[in-house]
Structure 1
């Protein structure tokens, strides 16, 4: 499977991004466990410290009572038992608040409170003078309570230490994965960075090479365009000069043939007269052909100054008026829609529709009255379906010119727009085979499209598609037409 450069870079960055995300997640978990572990350690230290203070205060109070009883020195009772009790209570409340999130520690604190209360009562009893037997019983009972206090304190300390140990184990687990993950992600980032650098460097070099080629092609294209323009100008000059210069010998041939017929008509045999007649007809066809070539060479030449809004209804009436005599001879009828205003060259549009209507008249059927119908619709480039996307929003006028003449076989639909292409012999239908080629040249120069559809013995339809507004910028236009 082959991947493009952009696809490879995208895949590389996706992998790098995934690795970075995974490394970030592990880093977050490690940092979170480190903070939790530190918080748990501080919590355990604080709980142990408070328990140690409480345990120490109880033992100091017990030692103070014994010292006082042995020496009767009142300094052993400073601070007093009440003050010691208040200090112990203060530490106890702090412990109660610190361990509020642990139910088992709260239960141990309940037990510790009960033991401290018992111990406090025992200390008060020991402070009062008793007989030796009672003192001994109090001392034994006090030792038992103190042992239970020690055990409770140790149990609470053990619970805190076990929680710290659990947090440490979890931290060690994540930190053990974190180091390889950071190493892998760093290695992957380095590899992807190197790969991206190499790939992008190749892409930049390729782009520079393509740009250099494009500049070279553009220079060649400009040179070719200049050469083509120069060649076209020379061809136009040649066509004009040729048509002008060829007219003179044709006039001489025509003049001499006329004189020959007039002066030596009685002396010429019949077959000679026929040859002269054929020569005159050939000269007339030659003159028409030269004129048509000249028209073709000049057709489709438009400049910005020649582009104006054209009232197509008025233009069509002018064309019909010019062809009035020919239409009457064929007893033809022209029915047209109300056409819109279209930007273009009026002379070229006049020539376009005159050639199309004249073509319909020429190929009228001898078995029925010629009827020419002209319909139109305004559509967008997107609705046409065959223009480039850049022209989808442009507005076009599609004009269909239908006739009920002799028609043609659809296989010749493209051929009829080529110069000198004829579907019928010169003896059947007159003409030089240039008219429809001129039509295509005019439509192309207006950035439009022309197609033909025919059915033998039924008629033909010529469809002209023209943009309502002309763009004279050097744009590349789609010239594909529908089949």
Structure 2
């Protein structure tokens, strides 16, 4: 299956766009995880540092109390235990603020309790009156400090474990980030190169097509000019030929009339019969010439001649012209209300006159003639014959059906060809041009005509005409 270049480009850009969007989303997620793990790394490091500060300040405070107990020097009590306690409390609050792990928060609560116990011991050791037994117990201090160290070590180990996991994730996403960015960039470059190649090829092809189109347009214009010239010459030839043919026919007809008038009684019967046959032949020749002229002009419709035509009034004129012939066949015409269409009034008059004359000519001898004219308004979409660009236009389908002798359906297309007859001249008069003229008139109006029939049942002609003529046609 052949796929057009435009479709290939659309599919290629869609795939490229999808991959780039997917890769961009992946890159965004990687970057987001990278930033998150970087923040978590900083968070873990900060927690570990603050825990170390708490331990260091406690040990400094304990060392100061021991130094004071040994030397009795007040310098060891600066800063005081109250000031040291404020610093430790500040570190605890900072830890409470930044610590978001539920397990670590519980450990922090336990550490706070141990700090409170240790603070009381240190405060007691700061007293200067040792006679009252308020001196810090070395054993109790070591126990409480050991508990604090264990809890801090436990919390530090948890943070270090988290630090290791976050470091591993940070390293993973860091290593993944560069290949993803590289692949996206490489793919974008490849798409750009591919697009440039395809578009350049398409552009060159378009230039080639435009050059060929211009060449074809020039050739077409030349052919149209030649065709118009040929048509003009053909029209002039038809006019001259018809004029030159009519003149000898008139002379033959005149001389025949004179012979019959002057020597009619003296002519032998066989001579009179020959003259009568000659006059009949001249008459048929005259009709044939007129039909040929009509046929040659039927397909030429100038846009300015396409005017609104009331088909009801037009058919009234046609039936008036055919009134005598219709009475001879004891015929009736039943007609729907017809719409107004744009067209050439003279040509449409010729169209319906030929079709109705055809029904009258081929009336069934065993029954009264009945002609039924129906109409139906349809859109181009509802008509299978209409091109897609005219699907929204409105058309009128006119059906002319009679109960005449009909015809074999195998000849449905043949009857619209010039000089094609289904019956001999001796049976039915005519030149075999009438329906061909109808076909040319309908074609000139951008319409369609078809015929259906069955022997001894009648014939049906279907005409499809647009209500409005397209001016570009």
Number of the residue aligned with 2:115:
116
Q: Which runs of 5+ in 1 are unaligned?
A: 475-483
3-state DSSP class of the match of 1:302?
coil
Taking the aligned partners of 1:53 and 1:20, their CA distance within structure 2 comes to 49
C-alpha distance in 2 between matches for 1:21 and 1:330: 82
The match for 2:421 is 422
- Give the match's secondary structure for 1:343: strand
Decide whether the 8 Å contact of 1:402 with 1:460 is kept in 2.
Answer: yes
- Supply the distance in 1 between the matched residues of 2:445 and 2:3 (Cα, whole angstroms): 43
Q: Which moves more between the two structures, 218-227 or 9-18?
A: 9-18
**Using the alignment, how far apart are the partners of 1:133 and 1:346 within structure 2?**
136
From the superposition, tell whether residues 364 and 58 of structure 1 become closer, same or farther in structure 2 (CA, over 3 Å): same
Whole-angstrom distance in 2 between the partners of 1:249 and 1:114? 140
1:70 alignment counterpart? 70
Classify 1:378/1:25 alpha carbon distance in 2 versus 1 (closer, same or farther; 3 Å): closer
Residue number in structure 1 paired with 2:225: 226
CA contact (8 A) 2:376 2:398 kept: yes
The 10-residue stretch of structure 1 (239-248 or 193-202) with the greater mean CA deviation from structure 2: 193-202
Q: 1:283 to 1:116 in 2, by over 3 A?
A: same
Shift of 1:87: 2.1
What does residue range 50-449 of structure 1 map to in structure 2 within 5 Å?
A: 50-99=50-99, 101-128=100-127, 129-130=129-130, 138-263=137-262, 269-449=268-448
Q: What stretches of structure 2 of length at least 5 have no aligned partner? A: none
Q: 1:404 to 1:85 in 2, by over 3 A?
A: same
What is the DSSP-based 3-state SS (H/G/I as helix, E as strand, rest coil) of the residue aligned with 2:461? Answer: strand
- Tell me, in whole angstroms, the C-alpha distance in 2 between the residues paired with 1:280 and 1:41: 121
> Within 2, Cα distance between the matches of 1:382 and 1:24?
47
Contact kept, 8 Å, 2:124 with 2:134, in 1: the verdict is no
Of 421-430 and 81-90, deviating more is 81-90
- Aligned mates of 2:472, 2:115 — CA distance in 1: 101
1:360, distance to aligned residue in structure 2 (A):
0.9
Q: Please report how far the alpha carbon of residue 459 of structure 1 lies from its aligned counterpart in structure 2 after TM superposition.
A: 0.7
Q: Are the equivalent residues in 1 in contact too, given 2:125–2:134 (CA < 8 A)?
A: no
Mapped to 2, the partners of 1:29 and 1:301 lie a distance apart of 73
Q: Secondary structure at the match of 1:447?
A: coil
Return the alpha-carbon distance in structure 1 between the equivalents of residues 341 and 308 of structure 2. 6
Confirm or deny: 8 A CA contact 1:44 1:157 kept in the other structure.
no
Aligned to 1:473: 472
RMSD, aligned α-carbons: 2.3
Paired with 1:176 and 1:449, the residues of 2 have a C-alpha distance of 74
The Cα shift of 1:2 comes to 5.5
1:174-229 Cα deviation digits (max 9, x unpaired): 23333333333333333333222222222221122112111211121122122212
Partner SS for 1:421: coil
Q: Which residue of 1 aligns with 2:28?
A: 28
Measure how far apart 1:90 and its partner are: 2.0
**Could you tell me how far 1:456 is from its partner in structure 2?**
0.6
Cα distance, 1:153 vs. partner? Answer: 1.9
